[in-house]
Amino acid sequence: MNADDFPTPDVDVDSVDPDSLKHRIDAGEDVAILDARMQSDYDEWRIDGENVTSINVPYFEFLEDDVDDDVLDRIPDDREVTVLCAKGGASEYVAGTLAERGYDVDHLEDGMNGWASIYEAVEVDRYDGAGTLLQYQRPSSGCLGYLLYDDGEAAIIDPLRAFTDRYLDDADDLGVELTYAIDTHVHADHISGVRDLDAEGVEGVIPDAAVDRGVTYADELTTAADGDAFAVGDATIEAVYTPGHTTGMTSYLVDESLLATGDGLFVESVARPDLEEGDDGAPDAARMLYESLQERVLTLPDDTLIGGAHFSDAADPAADGTYTAPVGELVGEMDALTMAEDEFVDLILSDMPPRPANYEDIIATNLGQEAVDDEEAFTLELGPNNCAASQDSLAGD
């Protein structure tokens, strides 16, 4: 049965919007979730947290008039339960079925699609360069981006196509002009917003080193080579070539205070090296990543903040709520950053997580080799990002 075909429940069912559910989780409330998607979807990607009790019972278990007692026994009857599905149709039906049986339930508006629409901006308090730096956070996939603004100008690093209008609206609300939209590399987990913002009059910037991968629109945008600088008010964003995750991977040093590392280094892990050249090319890419980290990143002053393009469930936010950390702190906490090269390569190749969902189509779209509409683009990037090496083996004790 298609989720859109579910009948309207005979009882009124309250709904909760995704932002409200996120705020409850962030506030530390005990939240119970009944995820009515198929187990395979649930295992790949779900709402989780220390204060979240998550139960998976697929919607088809509730299609019979007499729901099995074993199913009902799995659902808490002593607190409110939020039911969710992929788009919101099945969850409303399941919630209604449970409400008829006396359960205290509501359902998540638009399901996991609604969860994927949450996008929050948090100020980076420890940034001490010119202007103000915000970190955009997409909790559904762990995607991060950065908005720098100063003296009437702004730049966005690693924008997402799904939030093109959001960036423009935020710049307007801040009273600044969005002058640059900058990508760190050809992304494999989400559709880039650089071209869409460029079409809106923002200067799109992609790494010069990424063009050789077959970018079809390079002549329409500005390309950034190692050492190139972009002025944003009194602040400067400098390109720092850091290949490894991809051959074109380029970090951006924001006014000598924060290095936006893309998928090269995260606050809890380092990049995976196999998404561009596959398993055969991964060892060489891992060595390239090691050199980039040792020679271009870890040589920065210890108080330079690191801000990646992603965070995972293993990442702990800083006191300001951002996923940033001083490079000196990461060296002290992450064993992988102090290993010899051979040991580093062996480690990150030893336990590679699954590749991001739809990554081949996403890469082709970001290269301009395939075209997708906004709805298909949004659907392609649903799910976890998986652009990092396994966190289990990288952190110190």
Of the candidates 132, 155, 136, 154, the one whose C-alpha atom is nearest the C-alpha of residue 145 is 136
Q: Which two tokens stand for residue 92?
A: 């409303």
Tell which residue, 61, 90, 84, has the closest CA to residue 3.
90
3 state SS for the chain:
CCHHHCCCCCCCCEEECHHHHHHHHHCCCCEEEEECCCHHHHHHCCCCCCCEEEEECCHHHHCCCCCCHHHHHCCCCCCCEEEECCCCHHHHHHHHHHHCCCCCEEEECCHHHHHCCCCEEEECCCCCCCCEEEEEEECCCCEEEEEEEECCEEEEECCEHHHHHHHHHHHHHHCCEEEEEECCCCCCCCCECHHHHHHCCCEEEEEHHHHHHCCCCHHHCEEECCCCEEEECCEEEEEEECCCCCCCCEEEEECCCEEEEECCECCCCEECCCCCCHHHHHHHHHHHHHHHHHHHHCCCCCCCEEEECECCCCCCCCCCCCCCEEHHHHHHHEHHHHCCHHHHHHHHHHCCCCCCCCHHHHHHHHHCCCCCCHHHHHHHCCCCCCCECCHHHCECC
> Beta-carbon neighbour count of residue 314 at 10 Å?
15
| φ, ψ dihedrals at 207, nearest 5° | -65, 135
Number of Cβ atoms within 10 Å of the Cβ of 297 = 24
Q: Is 143 a catalytic residue?
A: no
Active site residue: 3, 81, 85, 377, which one? Answer: 85
Cα 344 to Cα 203: distance, rounded to the nearest angstrom = 38
Q: Which amino acids are annotated catalytic? A: 85
